[in-house]
Structure 1
Amino acid sequence: MNEVGIQTLPWPARSPDFNPIEHVWDNLKRCIRARIPVPITTTRELKAAAVEEWHNIPQSDIQDIIDGLPNRLQEVISDREGNTHY
């Protein structure tokens, strides 16, 4: 129970993230950061870059992330509290 009286579930400090969209966001961030020749300096530029890069993500990349979920789950089960390579 926290200080305002709301009961919460215990959550491990290193809980693995199985949400495939998180891996897609990571890929999107890397693509935006890799843009050249000039870095993004305004929110308008960032939005335009995000939309452009989002449309450039191959559907096969997204499918590969989704298809890899069973392997991520198995690695977490096998390693218990250890870190995975994901």
Structure 2
Amino acid sequence: MELVHILLKKTIKYLKKRCMLLDPWPPNSPDLNPIENLWSIMDKRLENRRPDNEENFIQILKEFWDSITWELLENLILSMNKRIQLVINRDGHSINGFY
């Protein structure tokens, strides 16, 4: 167990030295999680769809999932630098409404 602790400390030290954004990175920030951003997009696209049963609900979700393009996913990834900077500028507070 001690070896794991030592390796973890060395890894954190290395990352802090090599990745300057790591120090101010807020823990557990949904603003910096691409899948959370995808859920938000899904929520907006589906807000007016009203399934009348579970089968219809599952079909609507499948349709959305099938409509996700590689371009959308790439844009979520490419937006990370801007999102990181916004979160840093807001001292770790949510960027909801700022992006």
Q: 79, 85, 91: which one pairs with 1:74? A: 85
Which amino acid letter does the alignment assign opposite residue 65 of structure 2? W
The residue that corresponds to 2:46 in the other structure is: 32
Comparing both structures, which one devotes a greater share of its residues to helix? Answer: 2
The residue that corresponds to 2:66 in the other structure is: 55
Q: 1:16-39: per-residue Cα shift (whole Å, max 9, x none)?
A: 31110111111112222244xxx2
Q: TM-score, normalised by structure 2?
A: 0.59
Which amino acid letter does the alignment assign opposite residue 70 of structure 2? Q
Bigger relative contact order, structure 1 or 2, given CA contacts below 8 A and separation 6+? Answer: 2
CA distance in 1, matches of 2:48, 2:70: 20
Q: How far does residue 66 in structure 1 lie from its aligned partner after superposition?
A: 1.0
Match of 1:71, SS state, is helix
Q: 1:63-86: per-residue Cα shift (whole Å, max 9, x none)?
A: 111110111111111221544214
Number of matched pairs: 69
Change (3 A) 1:49 1:60: same
Which is greater in Rg?
Answer: 2
- Cα RMSD between the aligned structures? 1.8
Q: TM-score, normalised by structure 1?
A: 0.67
**Residue identity (%):** 22
